[in-house]
Structure 1
């Protein structure tokens, strides 16, 4: 057994202390329950930085590379304190205790699964798959047994979580944690734990009306598509994880019609990047990493759409807004991302682009440069999104026109920002996000103006 596997096993053992928290909720005194829940993790942190000396077997078991430089188990202490912070939120401030247990076990045992996968095959994709699978199982088990422990000790409010909710939270947490770990360092696991805990708390409060069948189908579809995108090199590992997370949430919280629009952008957008790639490389307009899109690129084009999906799930129960508005915000943002991608990937192959602000001729690849071929390709992209919305979401011709116009607005804003502020004020990813935001705002404004809501 390698040292990294042993260390992961040690952290998993510490994570198992999370089961103390649901047992502590049976204590009638809130103050005593808080102490009982938090104390084990605080004790581990205290021992890690004061009582374990470098060179001892316990130090060698838990020490991360940076700990040897400091001579203290700061990694273990930070991990334990992050769990203590979430335990405090669970006992005193309403974070569901089973969700707390699931999050701690997800990170702790997911890391063990990743390290074990490394011993089988030294491949990042396989290792990440090990984290997701083991983390998901641990999160589900933590929620189930956390609820049972609360019930056994007679804790108030220990209502069993519905199976779809358990699966949804477990899968969402596993994908988010894997994504964060792919762009951060192992020592950042405390940050991962806190972030996932707060996010799953939000998802729990949304109380989405989902079925176990939809969650399982969403898992199968998104994992398969994620693997294909990675295998075909249309996305890096973080980019693939970002796409998988966004797709999963879109299916579960939005529906298959919403997902069809999103996956059309991911699929055709990725393939358009690969189209005549060598020629784009010669012209200096090709995406880096052989066209494989990273997490920043995927998020920049999709974060507005993701917000719209979550907001739609929260309306009208938590947000007093018609969910139709958020649908058009989502469709408009996706149409803008599709339009911008098609216009740049296809339009960049043609000579004599003109700067959108002055119409002077510029070199291919110049920010803000447009060609009529690129505009035409962009409109085709927006038309595809509008057509899918009409076919699967029964959007009226007027609604389809709104989505098409959103795509045009997003493409125009992207070019205007590219010609004026890109590079000096914001980067390319910031421009992409602002363009999709402009399209989403346009969509919501137009549906109100024309009376679609």
Structure 2
């Protein structure tokens, strides 16, 4: 057995201590605090040290990895017993990370394929997160709500896997704390989760996520971002919202791959063979995610939740409009800088062609059409509002590209600003034209 696999098994055993939280009550943090003290000051050599030590620990003569892991678990335990984090989510967060890492290491024994390792983390972490919640329910004589447990377990595993891809192995404490806090948020927003909804959501998002990775449309981190985003959109919004999201990702990915070699020759092709990474996904969809979370929490806000629906669709219309205008419009000659109309070389930030503008409007119209067909209360006027938001978002992207991109802002920041413009314009126009 490889040392990394033995170490992952040891961390999983330490993580299992969290299931005693319902019994220990306010002392739930004590076992992890004790482990942290032992790891930091007592266990400096011998078999236990060799079991838990990472390469950097050997160099420093201290179990820093185990110390950080235990302190993060102790911190979550205090949040659970003193500040209201549900006990089952504390346990689920610890289980997701510790057993997810074990699952990844088990897969690594047979294959070094990144996707398979991530899948091992996701499957093991999800199963452990569900088991942790069910274990707490059994100890406290609470009902086992399988659909809700499954949603939270999978969401936690996706969050942890995504952070593990973006960060480093030594950042496990940050991953655990982030997963716990986000699960707390998701739990507060998920009023009800049905068996059919969660089953369909998992099947659809995982299948599309794998397809995007297999076809080279997304990196592993980009795939995780997309699957997590899709799961949250379906659970908090519905399948109509998901269809709007997929309209952007599906058509946008195809346009990125369209005549890719020619784009490379022109110097306007996306990096990594067009595969979307986390930055690209979040740059285009962070506003949409915020909209769906606000929609889910709108029962506690003095705002009509339907406005967030228009904002969501407007942000996606802006994202697809901008993607088509640049990916297809960039294939045409004689672009002009949007701010001065002077001729610029292809690929210049802020350079537009009339063909790109036409395809941009078409992209916004496609998203508006999907919203009209599948989102409740979006009529012809609502579809026009979404199209307007998409067009103005695309225009804002071009103006920002011509003025600040590459200086103060990167491409992802400009994409975020453009989708925010699309969301705000659509929501304000809907409020003005359709009323409260």
- 1:39 corresponds to 2:22: no
**Cα contact 2:190–2:236 (8 A) shared by 1:** no
Distance in 1, Cα, partners of 2:19 & 2:240: 40
**Cα contact 2:284–2:319 (8 A) shared by 1:** yes
Q: 1:207 to 1:232 in 2, by over 3 A?
A: closer
Cα distance, 1:127 vs structure 2: 0.5
**Cα contact 1:399–1:452 (8 A) shared by 2:** no
Distance in 2, Cα, partners of 1:148 & 1:209: 21
Cα distance, 1:444 vs structure 2: 1.1
2:286 alignment partner, one of 284, 294, 303: 303
Q: Which moved more, 1:333-342 or 1:59-68?
A: 59-68
Distance in 1, Cα, partners of 2:282 & 2:143: 34
Give 5+ residue unaligned stretches, structure 1: 26-33, 152-158
Which residue number corresponds to residue 102 of structure 2?
Answer: 112
1:185 alignment partner, one of 168, 174, 186: 168
1:78 alignment partner, one of 64, 68, 73: 68
Superposed, 1:263-274 pairs within 5 Å as 263-274=246-257
Q: Which moved more, 1:72-81 or 1:260-269?
A: 260-269
Query: TM-score when scaled to structure 2?
Result: 0.98
- 1:14 corresponds to 2:18: no
Cα distance, 1:197 vs structure 2: 0.2
Distance in 2, Cα, partners of 1:308 & 1:102: 26
Count of residues in correspondence between the two structures: 435
Distance in 1, Cα, partners of 2:92 & 2:104: 17
- 1:355 corresponds to 2:337: yes
Q: Secondary structure at the match of 1:450?
A: helix
Cα distance, 1:208 vs structure 2: 2.5
Distance in 1, Cα, partners of 2:94 & 2:137: 15
Distance in 2, Cα, partners of 1:175 & 1:319: 28
Query: TM-score when scaled to structure 1?
Result: 0.95
Distance in 1, Cα, partners of 2:265 & 2:55: 43
Distance in 2, Cα, partners of 1:210 & 1:6: 37
- 1:148 corresponds to 2:148: no
Cα distance, 1:23 vs structure 2: 1.1
- 1:232 corresponds to 2:215: yes
Distance in 2, Cα, partners of 1:71 & 1:320: 56
1:87 alignment partner, one of 77, 81, 86: 77
**Cα contact 1:301–1:337 (8 A) shared by 2:** yes
Give 5+ residue unaligned stretches, structure 2: none
- 1:415 corresponds to 2:398: yes
- 1:368 corresponds to 2:350: yes
Cα distance, 1:168 vs structure 2: 1.2
Distance in 2, Cα, partners of 1:73 & 1:190: 14
- 1:442 corresponds to 2:430: no
C-alpha deviations, 1:205-254, integer Å up to 9, x for none? 12332212101110010000000000000111101110111011111111
Distance in 1, Cα, partners of 2:435 & 2:290: 21
Which residue number corresponds to residue 388 of structure 2?
Answer: 405
- 1:121 corresponds to 2:103: no
Coordinate RMSD, CA, aligned: 1.0
- 1:5 corresponds to 2:5: yes
Distance in 2, Cα, partners of 1:438 & 1:218: 29
C-alpha deviations, 1:257-311, integer Å up to 9, x for none? 1000101111111111110000000000000011111110110000000000011
Which residue number corresponds to residue 53 of structure 1?
Answer: 44
C-alpha deviations, 1:98-139, integer Å up to 9, x for none? 111111011000000000011121111000000000100000
Which residue number corresponds to residue 29 of structure 1?
Answer: none
**Cα contact 1:356–1:368 (8 A) shared by 2:** yes
Cα distance, 1:161 vs structure 2: 5.3
